[in-house]
Amino acid sequence: MTRVLVVEDDPQLVRALVINLQARHYGVDAAPDGATALRLAAARQPDVVMLDLGLPDMDGVEVIKGLRGWTRVPILVLSARQASDEKVAALDAGADDYVTKPFSMDELLARLRAAVRRTAETPLVTGTTLVETADFSVDLLARKVHRGGRDVRLTPTEWHLLEILITHPGRLITQKHLLQEVWGVTQGNKTNYLRVYMAQLRRKLETDPSHPRYLITEPGMGYRFEG
């Protein structure tokens, strides 16, 4: 049974989440504040954490940081905060996904299933050298990309971006993280670098660059690779 830790101080929402999750055969623990959440996470070892950012004793970002000190459990943030910088702060702290309140239960459950599916899949580890999609393959060891039986020539910057994304499949990588890793900068006004290079990668790898299948944009937040 997949176990979910719900961290939320709104009792009505907790009740709705518990009912819906248990009806779909998830095991559920609930915590009304951050301190309880960290204690329960250590004791119960959940498979997924659903976390509200506005907790009575600490900010949810601090809970994320506390969890990330010892576990890679998927963290799905549920929050009424809609500002992109607050979403980015949660993602940079280690959250895996972000659902803005109010949300539909169907959407939330779909995000939950995706998080569980990603952790169930074999993670990319040292020794894995080939990533294959229906349209192209990436040889990490040889640093080569093949599409349609031909080599695709990438610049060093394009390669670095692609490598970061494909070695974290399904994970939203923030603009800040990519800028820091590839260019050594964190200024938000440098996001035009990312747009230019991601557009180049899509032209080289996607069948329809204007409707990408693999290199997905999360507006105002970052990018993810879907294999």
Buried b (16+ CB within 10 A) or exposed e, 29-52: bbbbbbebbbebbeeeebbbbbbb
pLDDT of residue 187: 58
pTM over 0.85: no
CA 223 to chain centre: 9
Q: Structure tokens of 18?
A: 């518990």
pLDDT of residue 129: 81
Q: Return the H-helix or E-strand segment holding 177.
A: helix 175-178
Q: Is the pLDDT of residue 28 over 90?
A: yes
Q: Which three-class secondary structure state does DSSP give residue 146?
A: strand
Name which of 140, 203, 200, 135 is nearest 166 in CA terms: 140
Cβ atoms of residues 73 and 29 within 8 Å: no
Give the pLDDT band (50/70/90) at residue 117.
Answer: confident
Cβ atoms of residues 152 and 136 within 8 Å: yes
Give the pLDDT band (50/70/90) at residue 184.
Answer: confident
